[in-house]
Chains A and B, each alone.
Chain A
Amino acid sequence: MKFQVYRFNPETDAKPYLQEFDVIVERGMMLRDALMEIKRQDESFAFRHSCGEGVCGSDGVNVNGSNRLACITPLSEYQGDLVIRPFPGRPVIRDLVVDMTQFYAHYKEVNPWLMRKDALPEQEILQSPEERDRLDGLYECILCGCCSTSCPSFWWNPSKFRGPQALLTAWRFLADSRDQATDQRLDDLEGPYKLYRCHTIMNCVQACPKGLNPTKAIGHIRSLMLKNSI
Chain B
Amino acid sequence: MSRTASGFRAWILQRISAAWLGLFVLATLGYFLLSPPATFEQWRAFVAHPVVGTLILVTVAVVLLHAWVGIRDVLIDYVPPLALRLTLLSLFGLGFVACGLWALQVILLASGLA
Residue B102 CB within 8 A of the other chain? no
Judged by a CB distance under 8 angstroms, whether A178 is at the interface is no
Contacts of A199 in B (CB 8 A): 73
Bound-complex Cα distance A157 to B6 (A): 16
CA distance in complex: A153, B76 (Å)? 10
- Decide yes or no whether B11 CB sits under 8 A from chain A: yes
Q: What is the size, in residues, of chain A's interface with B at 8 Å between Cβ atoms?
A: 17
Chain B residues with CB under 8 Å of A192's CB are: 6-7, 10, 72, 76
**Is A156 a contact partner of B3 (Cβ separation < 8 A)?**
no
Whole-angstrom distance between the Cβ of A76 and the nearest chain B Cβ: 38
A156 contacts which of B4, B11, B12, B77 (Cβ < 8 Å)? B77
Of A59-67, A126-134, A221-229, the one with at least 4 CB within 8 A of chain B:
A221-229
A-side contacts of B6, CB under 8 Å: 190-192
A156 partner residues in chain B, CB cutoff 8 A: 77-78, 80
Complex CA distance for A196 and B3, rounded to whole angstroms: 13
List chain B residues, Cβ under 8 A from A190: 4, 6-8
Q: Is A197 an interface residue (CB 8 A)?
A: yes
The dominant DSSP class at the B interface is: helix
Is A195 engaged at the interface, CB distance under 8 Å to the other chain? Answer: yes
Closest B residue by C-beta to A153: B77
Q: Residues 176-196 of chain A: 1 if any B CB is under 8 Å from the residue's CB, otherwise 0?
A: 000000000000011111111
List residues of chain B with CB within 8 A of the CB of A195. 7
Task: List residues of B (57-83) whose CB comes within 8 Å of A's CBs.
Answer: 72-73, 76-78, 80
Closest Cβ–Cβ distance, residue A201 to chain B (whole Å): 11
- Checking A157, A193, A222 against B11 with a beta-carbon cut-off of 8 angstroms, the contacting residue is A222
Q: Are A157 and B8 in contact (CB under 8 A)?
A: no
Q: Smallest distance from the beta carbon of A171 to chain B beta carbons, Å?
A: 15
Q: Shortest distance in angstroms between B80's beta carbon and chain A's nearest beta carbon?
A: 8
Which of B3, B11, B72, B80 has the most chain A CB within a 10 Å cutoff?
B11
Whole-angstrom CA separation of A199 from B10 in the bound complex: 13
Q: Which residues of A contact B80 (CB under 8 A)?
A: 156
Restricting to A142-163, which residues have a CB under 8 Å from any CB of B? 153, 156-157
Query: Which residues of chain B are within 8 angstroms of A153 by Cβ–Cβ distance?
Result: 77
Question: Closest Cβ of chain A: how far from B74's Cβ, in Å?
Answer: 10
Residue of B nearest to A156 (CB): B77
Pairwise interchain contact A196-B77, C-beta atoms closer than 8 A? no
B12 touches A226 (CB 8 A): yes
Q: Is the CB of A196 within 8 A of B8?
A: yes
Residues of B near any A CB (own CB < 8 A): 3-4, 6-8, 10-12, 72-73, 76-78, 80
9 A-B pairs closest in CB distance: A192-B6, A191-B7, A196-B7, A156-B77, A190-B7, A225-B8, A192-B7, A196-B11, A191-B6
